[in-house]
Amino acid sequence: MIPVVLSGGSGSRLWPLSRQLFPKQFLALTSQHSLFQETLLRLKLPGMQKPLVVCNEEHRFIVQEQMQALGRSAEMVILEPFGRNTAPAVAIAAMYLLAQERDEVMLVLPADHVILGQDEFQEALQVARKAAEHGEMVLFGVPPHRPETGYGYIKAALSQVSGLLPVEQFVEKPGIEQACSFLESGNYFWNSGMFLFRASRFLEELKRHEPDIYDTCTLALENSRRDLEFLRIDAESFAHCPDSSVDYAVMEKTDRASVVPLNAGWSDVGSWSSLWEVQSKDAQGNVLKGDVVAQDSRNCYVHAEAKLVSLVGLEDVVVVDTKDAVMVAHKDRVQDVKKLVGQLNGCGREETQNHREVYRPWGCYDSVDQGQRFQVKRLTVKPGARLSLQKHHHRAEHWIVVSGTAEVTCNGETFLLTENQSTYIPIGVPHRLANPGKIPLEMIEVQSGSYLGEDDIERLDDVYGRVPTVATAPVEALSVVDPEASVAV
């Protein structure tokens, strides 16, 4: 069995913690590990192979760094140039396996879910595996414990064979009255978005029901290219792929869909209220993270990242404070945070895209101050890491070492700077910063000039593959196997 971890979501309902370039799956929301890392740790099971990870190319170094922090590696990290929903992502993963003559049973998991019961998860997995090995298209259904209107539902037939239920109907997100009737009936389940099937079976069904997705993904994979430890999907081909989920493209159309009940403390952590539900609470029902003082307040979720947050006389309220944004909402309206993000995007606000602290493959930077014609950043460069060789056309930079040792290349000359030493980088001069030491390098960078945007970077050389003419090279030809010619039960 091989896991396929889908890590392409943006998590806009968890703004301002979740941002476009650092979405919720990479945040440590319920433990010391991120949701993506928790997903990987959940897969430490007998017979489980290294995962295939599918993510947006903008997140590739975050994925790599978070896997390394766990001492884990992937079978392959497949990079989508842009999102096309889950069906194309799973199709390309299946095609990648068949191209290597590996018709594996695929466990498809979103990277941003919470599952509290590992034993229960493993038991459901064993039931689903037996069915998938006999050609069933299995999905995991969560027994509902409240009339939830934010999830899709699966109606299962009442006949039961060893924990496996035939799927009778898929139901879109219902209204509250319909959700209450589903809860009472006993044969409706929340659709978890988790699946198990053999690679060839999925592609067989996809080719039959959505041939446009199948053909486009075949072409996109054949034109893909390796980039370091990643596989880049061809953007030109992939742009023509229909946007569709596994449910719509295959599961709702196949006559071999089955559901396995998963009663394991599952949550998709899709909103602030659902995150409040899975967290430990104080005597007043509050979840308080960071420097928070709550007086006469009940059932609130408060996240304080940058400053003291105090509450007086509030109930069922969500307060999220970050370095550059504060969001306050009633728990009954947290689904509308997505609309708020859309409004902010319409205004061109950058706060939806990234945090003030921005992660890069070499470390991170924090924009601590800015004004007309200047910007101040705090840079942290990991030991042994180095930035690209680059130049700027509109700004000069002043570098000051706070701690550690900096190796500076400026206009062909290389020299070292230590604590409290500084240097100046003129406009248009090629330069590079590196950390040759064993501890993180902390720098203050003062930029000055007529334009200070991040797109005023001309990279001349880069060890992280961000100079296309240097970084990419053709991979060996990937011959996508027709699923009907594969061994399938």
What is the end-to-end Cα distance of the chain in Å, rounded? 16
Q: Are 249 and 210 in contact (CB under 8 A)?
A: yes
**Residue 487: per-residue pLDDT:** 42
| H-helix or E-strand spanning residue 231 | strand 230-232
pTM value? 0.89
User: pLDDT of 328-382, one tens digit each?
Assistant: 999 999 999 999 999 999 999 999 998 999 889 999 999 999 999 999 999 999 9
Residue 317: name the closest of 329, 335, 304, 333 by CA: 329
Residue 459: what are its φ and ψ, rounded to 5°? -80, 130
d(CA 433, CA 224): 32
> What number of other Cβ atoms are within 10 A of residue 128's Cβ?
27
Query: What is the overall mean pLDDT for the chain?
Result: 92
User: Which pair of structure tokens corresponds to residue 476?
Assistant: 């060996």
d(CA 167, CA 189): 10
d(CA 247, CA 257): 10
Strand partners, 266: 115
User: pLDDT of 108-125, one tens digit each?
Assistant: 999 999 999 999 999 999
> What number of other Cβ atoms are within 10 A of residue 25's Cβ?
30
Residue 250: name the closest of 16, 483, 11 by CA: 483
Residue type, 305: E
d(CA 319, CA 335): 14
Region of 42 on the Ramachandran plot (φ > 0 left; ψ -120 to 50 alpha; else beta): alpha
**Residue 226: per-residue pLDDT:** 86
User: pLDDT of 402-435, one tens digit each?
Assistant: 999 999 999 999 999 999 999 999 999 999 999 9
Residue 95: name the closest of 223, 217, 6 by CA: 217
User: pLDDT of 210-260, one tens digit each?
Assistant: 999 999 999 999 999 988 789 999 999 999 999 999 999 999 999 999 999
d(CA 402, CA 435): 13
Confidence of residue 388 (pLDDT cuts 50, 70, 90): very high
d(CA 364, CA 369): 16
Domains and CATH numbers, the chain: 2-270 (3.90.550.10), 273-346 (no CATH), 357-462 (2.60.120.10)
Tokens 């470390």 locate to 363
User: Which pair of structure tokens corresponds to residue 266?
Assistant: 């599952």
**Residue 488: per-residue pLDDT:** 39
Q: Are 119 and 204 in contact (CB under 8 A)?
A: no
For residue 31, pLDDT beyond 80: yes
- What is the sign of the dihedral through the CA atoms of 262, 268, 271 and 275? positive
Tokens 């890590």 locate to 7
Peptide bond into 16 cis (omega under 30): yes
For residue 469, pLDDT beyond 50: no
User: pLDDT of 261-296, one tens digit each?
Assistant: 999 999 999 899 999 999 999 999 999 999 999 999
Interval 383-396 mean pLDDT: 96
